[in-house]
């Protein structure tokens, strides 16, 4: 294997889901074939419906600021495949991706692995080869049967906000979804859960933690004081320390307290992470496509939120926008609860423009428009046309644009950003 095209051809030869899994034996077999690299690494394992990426970036950047070598594994990719596998914020270089792909290809037996499992194997070999001090590991879907759950003794297991998503796989109640997320909690290892979870989620997580003798840590909101919030971020005091966040929204303060408690567990495990490194991380981290301001005149906010919880968090951010009306460019995929998300979006957008050319399994724009019951709605023949319509309207009305509904749509916008603004 000599080129990046050959490497990507190998990766893409595996289906996105592979055959249905009922246990972790398939990923166990795959990793055993390549020498079980996961057994030689330290992990913080992160599950949750919303907030995983933000908590991962806040924690990992604090560790990077503390001079550690930090692996970062996220899902799905945002702009390109390589951004799923990073060390200290840098994507895996093409030369190293080619080399590790070659090792995996020449070692494993051809089997119905999923693309995610192959990617995970590549990432683990890379992190081990590069001598990472700690790896922040984000689950793909759920937790209990997710390939990442093959790790044995994480430094900490972290569960962020749990809400409805992937219901066909994880279950159709919050209790069932929470049970899947709780699957990452390990015997005698500490766990952290975000404080804003519903009571039924908290009950499940507490029961699982108790059954596994896992110390469950919940950030104490009585020790939290929000100082100010704006589109440019927020500041707050938690446990007598003041922090400033670059990312906007109340939900990011929730994520930040989860990150603070996770960092405290890392300290107790021997990692030296000064307060100044945490404060610096919080002030500089902006996760791509998470209420991200990508243009100022007119104001354009890009968000990959695609479920009810995500679109509600975006509403909180949009409530701080002074430039009205709000024009939304949106597209959604068929495997999500697009009817609920569309209805919710129509409650706070003044105009919605629907598109469907950004993914093969996108909901047809005309159908999606039918669920926008509480605002004006249009459709566009392409994302580029929709973006042009939204920008034109925003400039004419001195309003703002929000782009939301799918990470695939967000990726499309990011990869064509230079041609838009």
Query: Which domains can be identified in the chain, with CATH numbers?
Result: 4-284 (3.40.1190.10), 292-416 (3.90.190.20)
**Rounded CA separation 301/287 (Å):** 13
**Residue 1 — very low, low, confident or very high, per pLDDT cuts 50/70/90?**
confident
**Residue 419 — very low, low, confident or very high, per pLDDT cuts 50/70/90?**
low
Instruction: For residue 138, give Cα distances in angstroms to 36, 52, 311, 378.
Output: 19, 7, 21, 36
What is the per-residue pLDDT across 319-378, written as a single tens digit (0 to 9) for each?
Answer: 999 999 999 999 999 999 999 999 999 999 999 999 999 999 999 999 999 999 899 999
Residue 245's pLDDT is what?
Answer: 98
**Cis amide leading into 298 (omega within 30):** yes
Residue 291's pLDDT is what?
Answer: 95
Residue 170's pLDDT is what?
Answer: 86
What is the per-residue pLDDT across 203-246, written as a single tens digit (0 to 9) for each?
Answer: 999 999 999 999 999 999 999 999 999 999 999 999 999 999 99
Using CA of residue 23, residue 27, residue 31, residue 37, what is the dihedral sign? negative
Rg from Cα positions in the chain: 21
- Say if residue 315 is exposed, middle or buried (CB neighbours under 10 Å; 0-12, 13-18, 19+): middle
Closest CA to 148 of 44, 58, 77, 69: 44
Contacts of 296 (CB under 8 A, 6+ apart): none
Residue 74's pLDDT is what?
Answer: 97
Residue 112's pLDDT is what?
Answer: 85
**What are the DSSP E strand ranges found in 85-198?**
85-87, 90-91, 134-138, 156-159, 191-193
pLDDT > 90? residue 150: yes
**Residue 418 — very low, low, confident or very high, per pLDDT cuts 50/70/90?**
low
- State how beta strands 191-193 and 233-238 pair: unpaired
What is the per-residue pLDDT across 90-147, written as a single tens digit (0 to 9) for each?
Answer: 999 999 999 999 999 999 987 789 999 999 999 999 999 999 999 999 999 989 999 9
Backbone angles phi, psi at 414, to 5 degrees: -60, -40
Closest CA to 205 of 224, 222, 190, 223: 190
Instruction: For residue 34, give Cα distances in angstroms to 123, 137, 174, 328, 368.
Output: 12, 19, 37, 47, 45
Backbone angles phi, psi at 43, to 5 degrees: -130, 150
Residue 109's pLDDT is what?
Answer: 83
What is the per-residue pLDDT across 9-60, written as a single tens digit (0 to 9) for each?
Answer: 999 999 987 778 899 999 999 999 999 999 999 999 999 999 999 999 999 9
Q: What is the pTM for the complete model shown? A: 0.96
Token representation of residue 384: 């580029």
- Other C-beta atoms lying within 10 Å of the C-beta of residue 328: 27
Helix extents (H) in 74-114: 94-107
Contacts of 323 (CB under 8 A, 6+ apart): 298, 299, 394, 398, 399, 400
Backbone angles phi, psi at 34, to 5 degrees: -100, 15
pLDDT > 90? residue 306: no
**Residue 186 — very low, low, confident or very high, per pLDDT cuts 50/70/90?**
very high
């Amino acid at each position: 294997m000599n080129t990046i095209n050959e490497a990507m051809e190998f990766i893409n030869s595996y289906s996105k889901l592979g055959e249905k899994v009922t246990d972790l034996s398939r990923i166990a077999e795959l990793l055993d074939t390549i020498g079980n690299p996961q057994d030689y690494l330290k992990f913080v394992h992160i599950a949750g419906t919303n907030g995983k990426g933000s908590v991962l970036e806040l924690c990992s950047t604090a560790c990077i600021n503390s001079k550690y070598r930090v692996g970062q594994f996220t899902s799905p990719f945002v702009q390109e495949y390589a951004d799923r596998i990073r060390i200290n914020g840098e994507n895996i270089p093409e030369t190293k991706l080619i080399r590790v792909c070659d090792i995996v290809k020449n070692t494993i037996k051809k089997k119905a692995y999923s693309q995610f499992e192959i990617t995970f194997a590549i990432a683990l070999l890379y992190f081990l080869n590069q001598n990472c001090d700690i790896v922040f590991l984000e689950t793909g879907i759920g937790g209990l049967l997710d390939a990442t759950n093959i790790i044995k003794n994480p430094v900490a297991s972290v569960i962020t906000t749990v809400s409805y998503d992937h219901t066909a796989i994880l279950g159709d109640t919050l209790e069932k979804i929470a049970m899947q997320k709780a699957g990452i909690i390990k015997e005698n290892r500490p766990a952290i859960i975000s404080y804003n979870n519903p009571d039924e989620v908290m009950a499940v997580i507490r029961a699982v933690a108790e059954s596994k003798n896992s110390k469950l840590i919940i950030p104490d909101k009585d020790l939290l004081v929000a100082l100010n919030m704006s589109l440019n971020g927020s500041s707050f005091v938690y446990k007598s320390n003041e922090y400033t966040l670059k990312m906007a929204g109340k939900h990011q303060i929730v994520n930040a307290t989860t990150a603070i408690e996770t960092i405290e567990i890392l300290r107790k495990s021997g990692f030296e992470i000064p307060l100044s490194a945490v404060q610096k991380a919080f002030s500089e981290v902006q996760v791509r496509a998470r209420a991200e301001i990508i243009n100022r005149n007119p104001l354009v906010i890009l968000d990959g939120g695609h479920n009810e919880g995500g679109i509600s968090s975006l509403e909180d951010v949009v409530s701080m926008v002074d430039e009205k009306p709000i024009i939304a460019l949106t597209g959604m995929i068929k495997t999500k609860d697009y009817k609920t998300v569309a209805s919710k979006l129509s409650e706070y957008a003044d105009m919605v423009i629907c598109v469907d050319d950004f993914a093969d399994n996108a909901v047809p724009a005309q159908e999606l428009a039918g669920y926008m019951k509480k605002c004006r709605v249009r459709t566009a023949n392409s994302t580029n046309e929709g973006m042009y319509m939204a920008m034109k309207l925003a400039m004419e009305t001195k309003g703002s644009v929000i782009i939301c509904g799918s990470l695939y749509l967000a990726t499309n916008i990011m990869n064509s950003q230079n041609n838009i603004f």
